[in-house]
Amino acid sequence: MSEKLEQDICRAIATTLENMAFMEVGKEVDEAVRYPAEEMVVSRLLIHDPIQGELYLLMPKPLLSKIASSVYILPAEELSEKMLLDMLGELINTVAGLFLNAYLPEDQTYNLGLPEKVPAGQEDSPFEMKQWDFQVENDLFSLALAGDGFFIAERS
Amino acid sequence: MKRIVIADDSATARMFICRCLEIIGLGEATLVEAENGREALALLKEEDTDLLLTDLNMPVMDGATLLKWVKSSPRLHDLPVLVITSAGNPAKEQELTALGAFGVLNKPVSPAVLMDALKPILS
């Protein structure tokens, strides 16, 4: 896998959270908290073309609440499940756009699906997949990219 | 600027855009929200509107289809349409400008960027 793909993924997630929630994203650190699967919320977005693939955003509910609380300017207890899921969907949508804009040539258009909730632990894909772990305020979350085209292009 | 229709299937995105509009001094305008292009079209036909801000990727009717409907309608033809999307790049911008959009902004949009894009309309 090339440095470019990894850099584009990292920049997309960092820009999204910094611009939307004023939160700084860091690489995984030893002391960061890893949450059990039952506390994770997962959203999937299909990438239709020019490369077929899937993007997954796996986030612990407490972190998603912190982000949504910052974006909505509301106390976490006033945020509904629907608002949290919508927040996650908007995050993955924005990350996907920023990533593909950086990764693909400027003159290349692309098509995305709509974000959908996936049960935690079922984020498997028929495609080759790579997962990156990040932390915000010591809470770990992950972004996974699946799609043979992304990795075949990287190898050739 | 009296009435602005905001079409996006994400409530978070609509809230974010509304906040940006308030920050740039358009909080006095009536901000009307739609969850998809079809809903937006119904709102546009209901009452005179000064500006349409639309996402591209929406269920039921997407933003590009909404833009085509607006620009082919004798009544709505002159309505300024700004696309705010996560899937915008120079190629997409060219495509949407050809369809009649006056601008394309990438998410996450900031008040400063929105202000800049709306300058021609506000002036």
Instruction: Kindly indicate the confidence band of residue A156, based on its pLDDT and cuts at 50, 70 and 90.
Output: low
- The packing angle between helices B111-122 and B11-21, to 10°, is 60
The pLDDT assigned to B63 comes to 96
Q: Which residues of B30-42 are buried (b: 16+ CB within 10 A; e: fewer)?
A: ebbbbbbbbbbbe
Query: Does the pLDDT at position A155 exceed 60?
Result: no
A106–B90: do the CB atoms touch at under 8 Å? yes
Test mutation, B12, B19, B84, B97, chain A, max A CBs within 10 A: B12
Paired residues of B82 in beta bridges: B53, B103
CATH assignment of A3-149?
Answer: 3.40.1550.10
Chain A: give the shortest CA distance to residue B97, in Å: 14
- Read off φ and ψ for residue A24, nearest 5 degrees: -95, 130
Distance CA A95, CA B104 (A): 17
Q: What is the pLDDT of residues B16-66, one digit of tens each?
A: 999 999 999 998 899 999 999 999 999 999 999 999 999 999 999 999 999
This complex has an ipTM of 0.88
Domain spans in chain A, listed from the N-terminal domain onward: 3-149
Count other C-beta atoms under 10 Å from residue B96's C-beta.
23
